[in-house]
Amino acid sequence: MYLNKVFIIGNLTRDPELKALPSGIKVCSFAIATNRNFKDKDGNRKDAVEFHNVVVFGRVAELSAQYLKKGSQAYVEGRLQTRSWEQNNEKKYRTEIVAETVQFGNRPGVGGSSAGAGSSSSGSGSNGAVGGGKVDAGAPGESGEKIDYPSEEISPDDIPF
């Protein structure tokens, strides 16, 4: 059995860059920073920062480029992929996260709600919220239509089953 799955939550270190492949498929790339806090052998608190390159394809790429900005928080779920190329007779490598799901978190300069990893709607596509949304790469029926969710709380007594 094999598993190649990545889950990260962090802040974008640069604005997303949207391009198109010759086939017309959109590709968005950006980088996310994650922090790790730990104590060293002397008991002093240390911070370590990791930088992750992320690549997104299709409709998710378009939405990521539209809604994410430098400093935005994002949850990314995908797989690791290493690609290689030759430059000046030297072999170069780059390991990236190929995102399948991108969930938008707080945006810089926008107060209010946060869309945590479990607080988004169970459907797919953008939920239309300013503070967050979830976009799933393989979601069927992404026709770009906006879903209007009720603003009031739903009581369990309102559910018919």
DSSP code, position 157: G
For residue 128, the model assigns a pLDDT of 35
For residue 105, the model assigns a pLDDT of 83
Pairing between β-strand 45-57 and β-strand 73-87 as defined by DSSP bridges: unpaired
For residue 122, the model assigns a pLDDT of 34
For residue 108, the model assigns a pLDDT of 63
CA distance 147 to 141: 12
For residue 95, the model assigns a pLDDT of 94
For residue 51, the model assigns a pLDDT of 95
65, 28 in Cβ contact below 8 A? Answer: yes
Residues of the chain with pLDDT under 50: 112-131, 138-143
Domain limits of the chain? 6-138
Tens digit of each residue's pLDDT (9 = 90 or more) over 100-134: 999 998 766 655 444 333 333 333 333 333 345 55
**Nearest in space to 135 (alpha carbons), one of 3, 4, 17, 28:** 28
At residue 109's C-alpha, the angle toward residues 113 and 30, to 5°, is 90
The pTM for the full model equals: 0.65
**Residue 40 token pair:** 């060293």
**Residue 104 token pair:** 């938008």
Q: Which CATH class is domain 6-138?
A: mainly beta
